Structure 1
């Protein structure tokens, strides 16, 4: 029997704070306290969380519905909220296979919730691995996914805890293990405005640091891939749903989808 996980509910936790901003239920008073404090200093943070989640939904829908992808490797998945990768993919393709990857004990404790709602035709499973160890990620993923067939690799806002060279290594090694016709879909926070930079400093000062990437650093992740239109752009501008009023505003988070030739 595995050891029980100490959730440390009195200590703020990054994944639970993000869960709170997204309107999830897997958070505690300490998380909500710092979440509210950061939101007071950076008023757009809750909207930012929601807009980046909407990018994931649009990207996964594109991959399943238009690109015909049936295998997804979601690396650094975090806590479950509404509209997780498997829910989006399997709504389009009930036979889709999804492998989530995370090494956070808190996330592992919630894995059963993440796996709920799988279609009878599809597969949804979980690998306990640190993305800084791509060989372990790939070994776990291969137990479910067929790497001789296209795989969509997802990194959704997960690289703020490592430097750019480490981000590039991880992306290169994991995407490099996939076959032609596979895809990379990713976004991350960017240092594209003074507001974003000040917001990141305020968040770090409150105990939840996150390193912002430059656009050039994110472009390097897609090197050698064929970019899906409109390329690497603020996530709100990537294939936005038709707006009732006006055009979407760009935010300091860039994302894109690229195909492996």
Structure 2
């Protein structure tokens, strides 16, 4: 990571960033001491739940790769990744281009470091762009000329909300955001979503996790139950097993499971309009 005294003024290295914390979970180096301290607190909280936070993050990344591959192989050539996070190995555009050359990808984030890294990485790729946007206003994102300049809204496209919606603490607002995304999808379009699952976590443990994230730039965190997360796919045809623990999602998995809906973690699903 760049030295603190060389950072742009809009980047505060002393306030943890969820994107940089996630980078740390994945073994990346684009993070500051404040990010690592907050991430280590979450790793310890995960241990108290019987989870390995790093392994869950890696499973979430594997789900993203699988979902993009499945969608590309189904013929979709357009992807909008909202809350994209820092570039790492096998980014959305790399997976999409591997399975469907010429696919167009828009990365959306509101973290200055994410945007800086993404733009540097993508500067020479005409099919990919990184834009600033707020998850809470999906219409502003999907109507942004920088987005519509890459994405043909009359054709099927996929919207990715991977491990991002749980940073919207209000249940009604989170449901509104996803409902609007679903309304905007064309027939044949897809929603890819993973979300923190509360499971049977004790109240003091969830409170500790929420306290860590209240101290980040995101300002909060909300785990939700299976019913709430499954409802985000209302009106869509679920692919594969449905909404299941992220490590268990594959397009060929059975909906019957068995799946562990007791232990907290991340649930994931892919729906087709």
Q: Structure 1 length normalisation: TM-score? A: 0.86
CA distance in 1: counterparts of 2:232 and 2:85, whole angstroms:
21
Q: Do residues 191 (structure 1) and 211 (structure 2) align?
A: no
Aligned partners of 1:142, 1:239: CA distance in 2, in Å?
A: 31
**Other structure's SS at 1:62 match:** helix
**Aligned runs of 1:110-129 on 2, under 5 Å?**
110-115=117-122, 118=125, 123-129=127-133
SS at match of 1:193: coil
- Cα distance in 1, alignment partners of residues 184 and 154 from structure 2: 10
Aligned to 2:4: none
Displacement of 1:203 in angstroms is 2.5
Counterpart of 2:79 in 1: which secondary structure? Answer: strand
Confirm or deny that 1:215 pairs with 2:226: yes
Q: Deviations over 1:133-162 (max 9, x none)?
A: 122101122121011111011100111222
* 1:173–1:237 Cα change, 3 Å: same
Structure 2: which 5+ runs fail to align?
A: 1-6
Look up the match of 2:3: none
Alignment partner for residue 145 of structure 1, among 151, 160, 168?
151
Kindly report structure 1 stretches of 4+ aligned residues shifted beyond 6 Å.
Answer: 247-251
CA contact (8 A) 2:25 2:57 kept: yes
Within 2, Cα distance between the matches of 1:186 and 1:205?
24
Q: 2:110 aligns with which of 88, 103, 109?
A: 103
Write the distance in 1 (CA, Å) between the matches of 2:204 and 2:101: 43
Alignment of 1:10-159 (within 5 A): 10-43=14-47, 44-65=52-73, 67-115=74-122, 118=125, 123-140=127-144, 141-159=147-165
Higher relative contact order (Cα pairs below 8 Å, separated by 6+ residues): 2
SS in 1 for 2:12: coil
Q: Match of 2:174?
A: 167
Unaligned runs of 5+ in 1: none
